[in-house]
A and B are shown apart, each in its own frame.
Chain A
Amino acid sequence: MSVRGTRGGGWVRAAAALWLAGALLAGCAPAPVLTTGEFPALARLDTVLQRGRSTRADVERLLGFPAGRGHVLIPIGGLEGRGWAGRDVWYYEDIEATGMDKARREGSVTVIPLRVRQQVLLVLFDGPRFDGYLWFSNAQRGVGHVR
């Protein structure tokens, strides 16, 4: 990870030296600059799993053990109908803060752009049966603020 200052760079160099010393003394591993993580084979979801037939065991066999869980309560019935359907959710993630860019000043706030790679897969279950999925990813940047 490279860290660059906007002016002079003396304090940045000092920070880098302190970090190196601190990391060595504390025995901490440096944060990764860029790594790739395992993520479920999405292309196989539609070919291997069958909505209403595949079981939780089938999903685990294909995608592995989920990182977490959740729940969805979906309104159903159109304009006039009133009803809701609940579904359990298994949560698969691949989220990593891979580094940060040069800090900049915005008024009284220092903004530190962070590079974050994020992939999320939600698998829905109607009782014991696979009932669909939702997947999304981002290639955007988060920011940290120092006031």
Chain B
Amino acid sequence: MCVEPRRAPVRRALLLLILALVSGCGTMRYGVPPRVERLDELQPGLSTTADVLLRLGEPRGRGAVRLTRAEPMRDVFLYEYVEADASGKARLKMLLVLIRADRYDGHLWFSDELLLRPAAAGGGGGP
């Protein structure tokens, strides 16, 4: 195989990625698992945005939500993690954090059971 010298590292990395994906031997991951076990350290209406960032880290994305017409607009922080295994099956763990007037104002998280640690807090109520 002839490869231009300056492109060789890139092509080598690409080759490895393709090999890993198509051979069914690799696991693809992106994002960082949301730290849902730290949600209990936040108090709705009291904890600040800085408290959220300190405990949960920098969000992967941001958004906004208006739950009902009577409710004010809230900011949304998005945390997510995806893992795809050799068979092509993917597992997802996602956390949305609501922020109102610089205060933590609620959350929604869900996760594939395999991505959960035994000590995951904040309820969940498994079957």
Contacts and interface: CB of A to CB of B under 8 A. Distances in A.
Interface in B81-124: 82, 84, 86-92, 98, 100, 105-116, 122-124
Report the contact-size class of chain B (Cβ under 8 Å from the partner): 35 or more
B28 interface: yes
Contacts of B17: 112, 144, 146
A28 to B, nearest CB: 4
Contacts of A89: 108-110, 124-125
Contact of A68 (B30, B45, B112, B123): B112
Contacts of B127: 56, 60, 65-66, 69, 90
A89 B36 CA distance: 14
Contacts, number: 176
B14 interface: yes
B29 to A, nearest CB: 10
A116 B100 contact: no
B19 A15 contact: yes
A32 B88 contact: yes
A122 B95 CA distance: 13
Contacts of A28: 23-25, 86
Nearest to A10: B1
17 contacts: A1-B22, A14-B1, A15-B18, A22-B23, A65-B127, A67-B112, A70-B108, A70-B124, A71-B125, A75-B74, A75-B98, A78-B71, A89-B109, A96-B90, A122-B108, A146-B13, A147-B13
Interface of A: 1, 3, 10-11, 14-15, 18-19, 22-23, 26, 28-32, 35, 56, 60, 65-75, 78-79, 82, 84, 86, 88-91, 93, 95-98, 100, 103, 110, 112, 114, 116, 118, 120, 122, 125, 142, 144, 146-147
Interface of B: 1-3, 10-11, 13-15, 17-19, 21-25, 28, 30, 36, 39, 44-45, 67-68, 70-72, 74, 82, 84, 86-92, 98, 100, 105-116, 122-127
